[in-house]
Amino acid sequence: MSVDATTVRRIAHLARIAVTDAEVPHLQGELNAMLAFVEQLSEVNVDGVEPMTSVTPMQMKKRGDVVDDGEIADAVVANAPATEDHFYLVPKVVE
């Protein structure tokens, strides 16, 4: 894939980057070099290679997916001026 000058200007516009006409050829070369590198990566044989999250084998730490109230409902609303059943009471502002 090759990027032309029009595409460079469009990318710069979408990225909200001011690009002068003198900078377009340089950016065109840079973008083409990046795309050539990405194309090289598609040629690598990755058959049999499992995806990994780290270079060392390890399991992620997980906690149980348990819903609870944290057992501190009284402490959470302790400084509120008015509460009812562990909820904040606020004055009505919309009629």
pLDDT tens digits for range 32-88 = 999 999 999 889 998 998 888 788 887 878 888 888 878 888 888 898 999 998 889
Q: What is the pLDDT of residue 57?
A: 80
Cβ-contact 74, 86 below 8 angstroms: yes
- Give residue limits of the domains in the chain: 5-41
**What burial class does residue 8 get, using C-beta atoms within 10 Å of its C-beta: 0-12 exposed, 13-18 middle, 19+ buried?**
buried
For every residue of 31-86, DSSP letters joined together read: HHHHHHHHHHHTTS--TTPPP-SSSS--PPP--------TT-HHHHTTT-SSEETT
Tokens at 76, concatenated? 């959470």
Measured between alpha carbons, how far is 80 from 34 in angstroms, rounded to an integer? 57
Model confidence band, residue 25 (pLDDT cutoffs 50, 70, 90): very high
